[in-house]
């Protein structure tokens, strides 16, 4: 039996929502798991890039053995029903850029889990899949929208369960995703974060999260401009993303721009704006990075309302 699962990219944090806010985007990885018939062949993992321009070195970040996060996720699911995975061929067709802050690791975790769950006859429901995926990923802000789609606010509870609610992104607002050519590993991006933050910074972000949710529900552009500010992670990560500070400054006086935020741990950037003047926004970002000899792909994308889905069973 062979099962293929298509999983969307995700962007997390969205300014103030550190480790608790995520959104699915229409870029996809496809994970296929096949039960092989030859005993003793073990686990085989292959990664295939569908982008001819992809840097082959980026694919080397994905281990091809039992140390792979996709294997760890599959193993946890099998173990939950008292089994051990064996004789499986796993193939990952990648379109989501690796180490750019677009949920590439979450996508393969989720894809592996859904495919394995199908092979095993659906022993895990959505709650169990969310819990296992978060255990492997470490936090739920990417895996939750990868599974359920849309914009979500999500939390890992003390009992291991994942609480989430979907929010409706205003169609009047555009999301321009700016993906530089260089990589930034999540562990490096997390290493610059402090273990403790000043009380006033924590309070600042609590206020911004409240503003964010209200701005989403009321489509309040003026409030969203305030809501997208952050003091918990972006100030510390700024130095790891060349050009980010200048891009934000160059966009600040564009009336239709609501904010410029890191996508996840970076280095990709999201520019949230009203729908007019998108060409100028892209030009500002591209020109700023060009001055630093940084090439980038800059695309305006809708929210992907659908999460991971099984696309083929043989």
pLDDT of 48: 85
Angular region, 95: left φ>0, alpha ψ -120 to 50, beta rest? alpha
Same domain for 189 and 290, yes or no, is yes
Same domain for 146 and 272, yes or no, is no
pLDDT of 183: 86
Same domain for 293 and 307, yes or no, is no
Q: What is the CATH number of the domain that holds 188?
A: 3.30.70.890
Which residues, other chains included, contact 206 with Cβ-Cβ below 8 Å and sequence gap of 6+?
Answer: none
Same domain for 134 and 178, yes or no, is no
**The whole model's pTM is what?**
0.91
Which domain covers residue 104, as residue numbers?
2-166+303-313
State how beta strands 173-180 and 269-274 pair: antiparallel
Dihedral of CA atoms 34, 37, 39, 42 in degrees, nearest 10, equals -20
Tens-binned pLDDT, residue by residue, of the chain (314 aa): 899 999 999 999 999 999 999 999 999 999 999 988 666 657 788 888 766 544 443 444 555 556 789 989 999 999 999 998 878 899 999 999 988 999 999 999 999 999 999 999 999 999 999 999 999 999 999 999 999 999 999 999 999 999 999 999 999 999 999 999 988 888 899 999 999 999 999 999 999 999 999 999 999 999 999 999 999 999 999 999 999 999 999 998 888 999 999 999 999 999 999 988 899 999 999 999 999 999 999 999 999 999 999 998 88
pLDDT of 242: 92
pLDDT of 9: 97
């Amino acid at each position: 039996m062979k099962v293929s699962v298509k999983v969307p990219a995700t962007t997390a944090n969205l300014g103030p929502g550190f480790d608790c806010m995520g959104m699915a985007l229409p870029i996809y990885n496809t994970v296929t798991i096949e039960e092989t018939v030859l005993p003793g062949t073990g686990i085989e993992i292959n990664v295939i890039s569908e982008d001819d321009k992809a840097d082959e070195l980026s694919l080397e970040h994905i281990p091809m053995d039992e140390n792979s996060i996709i294997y760890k996720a599959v193993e946890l699911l099998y173990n939950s029903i008292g089994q051990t995975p064996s004789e499986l061929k796993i193939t990952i067709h990648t379109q989501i850029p690796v180490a750019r802050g677009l949920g590439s690791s979450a996508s393969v975790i989720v894809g592996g889990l859904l495919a394995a769950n199908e092979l095993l006859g659906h022993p895990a429901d959505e709650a169990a899949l969310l819990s296992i995926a978060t255990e492997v990923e470490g936090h739920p802000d990417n895996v939750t929208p990868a599974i359920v789609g849309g914009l979500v606010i999500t939390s890992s509870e003390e009992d291991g369960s994942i609480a989430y609610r979907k929010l409706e992104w205003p169609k009047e607002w555009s999301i321009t995703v700016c993906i530089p050519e260089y990589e930034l590993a999540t562990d490096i991006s997390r290493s610059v974060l402090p273990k403790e933050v000043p009380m006033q910074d924590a309070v600042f972000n609590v206020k911004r999260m409240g503003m964010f949710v209200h701005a989403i529900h009321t489509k309040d552009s003026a409030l969203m401009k305030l809501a997208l500010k952050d003091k918990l992670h972006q100030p510390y990560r700024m130095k790891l993303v060349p050009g980010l500070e200048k891009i934000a400054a160059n966009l600040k006086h564009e009336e239709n721009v609501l904010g410029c935020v890191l996508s996840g741990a970076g280095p990709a950037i999201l520019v949230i704006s009203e729908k007019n003047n998108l060409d100028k926004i892209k030009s500002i970002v591209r020109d700023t990075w060009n001055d630093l000899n940084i090439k980038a792909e800059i695309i305006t994308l809708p929210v992907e309302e659908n999460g991971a889905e099984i696309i083929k069973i043989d």
